[in-house]
Amino acid sequence: MPGYDPVRDLRDSRNQSNSETRNSAQIEEDRPERMVESPITQGPLPNGTDQGAIPKESVTHGEGSMEPIAYQPTYRWSEPTTILTPMTIEEMERRRFRSKNPLRHKERNADESVGGRIRPYAEFNAENGSVAEHYNKRQNIDREARESSPIIPLKRFNNWIKSALIAMYAQPALGEHAQARVLEMGCGKGGDLMKWDRQHPSILVMIDVAEVSVDQARERYESGRFRWPASFFAFDCFREPLSSHIPQEILAAKFDTISLQFCMHYGWDTEEHARVMLENIAQNLRPGGTFIGTTPDSETLMGRLEAINSEAELSFGNENYRIEFEHRYEPGEKPFGNKYHFWLEDAVDDVPEYVVEWATFERLAEEYGLKLLYRSRFDQILADGYDKPRLRSLLERMRVVDPEQVAETGEVTPAMPASMWDVCTLYIGFAFEKVEL
């Protein structure tokens, strides 16, 4: 599928000049343990040495004894503008409990897996509940467990794709302002925190409909000791305006970048929900700011459905993924609400999604002052990124491609089985720029 990006050259040159002023490590994915500076002490602190992020000695002093505690805010939990009083001991304890109880999420997920594995597609049914319920049930696992996922090559590739979109289309918009403001809609468990950290935001606002995921994102942020403030909100941003949940102080200044990763397809059930989503983006993005995202490619989805020999058969996939449509529509017949069920090994268990028909999306986006900058399927983004030295080196560091294999074959193919590549090539990445209407 040909990638088309009429302003790529312009972006590339902006990106180039921008990146020269930044540290080369900024697009490096999943840095190992690092040293961070305390914003107050200015001294280096080993990252992750205290997952709760509250110095132990500031909480209790020995069995039963509660000495008066001086207000020494080594770390803030909220933006300076919103904190009025020091946290109470109970609040601190509640946070410690939330971050550290390893059983909490295990209990919640006790029935989710069979023999430690996600149940196969056939054992699930669509009545499992809403999208929020599905994501609330998914276990929060540590880095080591994440690395042992059976689809780790795919997850690494998806992470690289998001880093590439950020480097190509968020970084230029963020770099224009000293106050770089980022909004992530459908943030999940905060898997992109490190990616945003490299952009040195002045604030990151994260929203997800799944409350448990938002809690986990907040915990990840708190234990990461990032040097910029973040705010977290749990609500459905395809049904409600941002202003109904996010305080006006936060929304007063518009965002430079809004990101919607692997999420939009849950909101394409009705035109009304798609419009709420676009309204939320357009109203809160500054002119010149960028909206980036990833979603399944409608052409590829419909093409694979079309390729099935039997008219009666509505499902396709392989050992890593399965898609089952509810109906077969003619092209253009169902711009919203074309529903299918998606199962992805070790990630998504039969969750209803909707085809985001590209032509409809682009037309609607334009109505809201969002002008298309870039749209490419993931295989094309890989090709585009391989041409950029920094993104290429990130590909190699993240072990998405094997440089020896590329040298041998002369082809840029990712190091993963063909069945996983079939999943990757279902998706597109895109970028829009907000223009004055």
Ligand X SMILES: C[S@@+](CC[C@H](N)C(=O)[O-])C[C@H]1O[C@@H](n2cnc3c(N)ncnc32)[C@H](O)[C@@H]1O
Query: Binding site for S-adenosyl-L-methionine: what residues are annotated?
Result: 162, 186, 208, 236, 261, 266
Q: Which is nearer to ligand X, 136 or 298 (CB)?
A: 136
Residues of this chain, 203-222, that bind ligand X according to CB under 6 A: 207-210, 213
Q: Which residue number has the CB closest to ligand X?
A: 188
Distance between start and end Cα atoms, the chain = 31
Q: Which of residues 256-285 bind ligand X (CB under 6 A)?
A: 261-263, 266-267
Q: Which of 153, 175, 191, 369 binds ligand X (CB under 6 A)?
A: 191
Question: What is the secondary structure of 248-304 as a DSSP string?
Answer: HHHHSSPEEEEEEES-GGGS-SSHHHHHHHHHHHHHHEEEEEEEEEEEE-HHHHHHH
Show contacts with ligand X in window 134-163 (CB under 6 A): 135
The C-alpha atoms of residue 261 and residue 142 are separated, in whole angstroms, by 21
- 298-318: b or e for each residue (b if 16 or more CB lie within 10 Å)? bbbbbeebeeeeeeeebebbe
Cα separation, 238 vs 276, whole angstroms? 5
Q: Which of 318, 247, 271, 236 is nearest to 81 (CA)?
A: 247
Known binding-site residues equal 158-159, 162, 186, 208, 236, 261, 266
Residue among 53, 54, 87, 132 that touches ligand X (CB under 6 A): 132
Give the per-residue contact string, 83-122, with ligand X (x = CB under 6 A; - = no).
----------------------------------------
Would you give the distance in Å from CA 21 to the centre of its chain?
A: 26
Tell me: does residue 168 bind ligand X (CB under 6 A). no
Place of tokens 């000695």: 57
| Interface with ligand X, residue 131, by CB under 6 A | yes
Q: How far is the CB of 70 from ligand X (least distance, A)?
A: 39
Beta pairing class for 203-208 and 181-185: parallel
Minimum CB separation of residue 237 from ligand X in Å reads 4
Range list of H helices, 289-415: 298-306, 358-367, 378-386, 389-397, 403-409
Q: Please identify, using beta-carbon distances, which residue of 161 and 365 lies nearer to ligand X.
A: 161
Closer residue to ligand X (CB): 381 or 412: 381
Closer CB to ligand X, 54 or 348, in the complex: 348
The residue ranges that bind ligand X (CB under 6 A) are 131-132, 135, 185-188, 191, 207-210, 213, 236-238, 261-263, 266-267
